[in-house]
């Protein structure tokens, strides 16, 4: 497994943000553009994970109610996508907390 190239990862995040229409600064926010962009990207990620989990839950419910248009494979795939998205979000949170703790422990 190759190590993660931070510059390449940042570039990919910027490209994804631009594709999603997040490249513009936040409307009416007093933050710098980079901060507004990061905050908006984080908020969009949280909302995306939430939507994915809700969609998986609706599919599970439809399958349990024996909806003929929903098959088990689709339910399982969507459930796994929701789980992976949530785990990725938890890892991002853990990295942010770790970075914050390192900054707070720096001598002044």
At residue 27, the 3 state secondary structure works out as coil
Summarize pLDDT for 33-83 with one digit per residue, the tens. Answer: 666 788 888 889 899 999 999 999 999 999 999 999 999 999 999 999 999
How many Å separate Cα 84 from the centre of its chain? Answer: 10
59 and 74 in contact (C-beta within 8 Å)? yes
Mean pLDDT of 23-40: 60
Whether pTM > 0.75 for this model: the answer is: no
What's the CA gap between 29 and 32, in Å, rounded? 8
What's the CA gap between 66 and 59, in Å, rounded? 11
Cα torsion 17, 81, 86, 28 to 10°: value is 30
């Amino acid at each position: 497994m190759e190590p993660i190239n931070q510059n390449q990862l940042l570039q990919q995040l910027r490209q994804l943000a631009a594709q999603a229409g997040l490249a513009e600064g936040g409307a009416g926010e007093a933050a710098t553009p980079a901060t507004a962009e990061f905050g908006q990207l984080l908020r969009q990620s949280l909302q995306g994970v939430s939507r994915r989990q809700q969609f998986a839950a609706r599919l599970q419910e439809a399958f349990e109610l024996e909806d003929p248009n929903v098959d088990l494979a689709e339910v399982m795939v969507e459930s796994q996508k929701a789980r992976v998205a949530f785990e990725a979000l938890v890892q991002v949170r853990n990295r942010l907390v770790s970075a914050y703790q390192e900054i707070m422990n720096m001598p002044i």
